[in-house]
Amino acid sequence: MRKDIFCMLLIIVLSSLFIFSCNSGSDSKKKIELSADMLKSINTLMETGDLSINYRNYEVKINPILWNSIDIEQKENLALSFAIYCANKKNDSALISVIYDKRTGEKLARYNEHIGLKVY
């Protein structure tokens, strides 16, 4: 695996505890934003071809080498980050992401804010 891609994934995973900030409204659901560094990391992974996101369908395709190199807690944080990315792009409050192997199309995991992460 290329060192730069691994470093980018590491940035995403390690910063996951610090990347979210909430903007609360009085009656509306809280909107969660990704940090600028997180957005940059996601965009870099998309530019290198290791990640693609179809936010309209909450679908994420990731390089399986990257996905398999992280533990379950990191996978959940990453899936949540993808869900936030999709929700913000759609201007929606639903936090959902469905993650697929970019090479085979096999479903790897699904994240839902009410259930959490389910890995297949």
Give per-residue pLDDT as tens, 55-72.
999 999 999 999 999 999
State how far the alpha carbon of 18 is from the alpha carbons of 15, 66, 75, in Å: 5, 21, 16
Q: How far apart are the C-alpha atoms of 48 and 24, rounded to whole Å?
A: 34
Reported pTM: 0.79
Number of structural domains, the chain?
Answer: 1
Per-residue pLDDT of the chain (120 residues; tens, 9 = 90+): 565 666 566 556 545 544 444 444 444 566 788 988 889 999 999 999 999 999 999 999 999 999 999 999 999 999 999 999 999 999 999 999 999 999 999 999 999 999 999 999
Structural domain span for residue 89:
3-119
Helix (H/G/I), strand (E/B), else coil: 58? coil
Q: How far apart are the C-alpha atoms of 72 and 22, rounded to whole Å?
A: 24
User: For position 50, what pLDDT does the model report?
Assistant: 95
